[in-house]
Homo-oligomer: A and B are copies of this chain.
Amino acid sequence: MKATILYGARDVRFEERPDPKIEKPTDAILRLSATCICGSDLWPFRGIGFFAEPPTPMGHEYCGIVEEVGKEVQNIKPGQFVVGSFAASDNTCVICHHGYQSSCLQREFMTTAQAPVLRVPLADGTLVPTREFPPKELVPSLLTTSDVLGTGWFAADGANVKPGSTAVVVGDGAVGLLAVLSAKQMGAERIMAMSRHESRQKLAREFGATDIVAERGDEGVERIKELTNGIGADSVLECVGTQESMMQAIRSARPGGFVSYVGVPHSVTLDGAGLFFAHVHLHGGPAPVRRYLPKLIELVLDEKINPGKVFDLTLPLSEVAEGYLAMDERRAIKTLLQL
């Protein structure tokens, strides 16, 4: 098959690779219905923080049809339409039982999903079949549950968004926008989206943002304080992963408030005393998407949410390199790759 390989900074190629096959009896092979490019893929694309040394395959968001399963797979059957998390998990260990499947004792991060065919480890634990074969138009939204929506959902959950909460979302990438959608679903009364890009502001409003804050840094924090009677928000959802965004998030929360952070922090350090006197709750990490998948899939199939709207560029998989460039240059929020 032909698939996506990153050769180095800004060097994405679509080229021949061996077809994936069952390697362990707990594996499944999927024929993907769609895949996409994640904001986190831009870090290695820009030459920062490679997870693996290039040349390396790319991609960790996926949904599609089961072609084959290993001998020990019991619940997943060929012909099913399935979605899985970007982190494969057994869903049976004690950490999975606590709802932290993305830190499963057997966790494997997916890294080869920008391809037509995908091997998924720990298929029984990782994959969730849909109750019915989905109509084609729902595939993009189902694809988002695999990571970007699940991560936005974790941001809202980790920041303790409840009915009536005031919430701030830092970051207007696809995760930030879906964090807005998630906060809305969890009943936030007020959702302040920090964004300075018109098309993203528009989508944030469509997903439920009640206020747009274009200011950043000190001015951004001041504006949030103005909007929250001077005290800061109950919940702040940090969806960027830089020092500036993290500090903006922490400073935008009220004492006793909750700050979540869901993108891998890059060169971020937190001062202990500063955090202490900020008096916030802080929670983050790789989103335990598997915990949320059954619910998110239902919300999509019932058409209660339309997270697929974050895809504002659709390309054939063969043009994946252009998809990276468009996101890197912020011409696209998120690129859907068709098969």
Q: A residues engaging B (CB < 8 A)? A: 94-95, 98-100, 102-103, 105, 229, 231, 241, 243, 246, 254-256, 261, 264-273, 275-286, 288
Contacts and interface: CB of A to CB of B under 8 A. Distances in A.
Contacts of A270: 269-270, 272, 275
Copies of this chain, count: 2
B281 A282 contact: yes
A279 B286 contact: yes
Given A256-B103, A271-B269, A281 B278 contact: no
Given A95-B254, A98-B254, A281 B283 contact: yes
A282 B231 CA distance: 21
Given A100-B254, A277-B286, 9 more contacts: A94-B229, A100-B255, A100-B279, A103-B277, A241-B272, A264-B273, A265-B276, A269-B271, A281-B281
A280 B95 CA distance: 12
B276 A261 contact: yes
B276 A272 contact: no
A246 B272 contact: yes
A252 to B, nearest CB: 15
A84 to B, nearest CB: 19
A105 B270 CA distance: 24
A271 to B, nearest CB: 6
A41 to B, nearest CB: 17
A256 B100 contact: yes
A278 to B, nearest CB: 7
12 contacts: A94-B254, A95-B256, A98-B255, A99-B256, A100-B255, A103-B255, A255-B285, A261-B272, A269-B271, A270-B270, A270-B275, A281-B283
Given A269-B269, A270-B270, A276 B255 contact: no
A167 B155 CA distance: 26
A266 B273 contact: yes
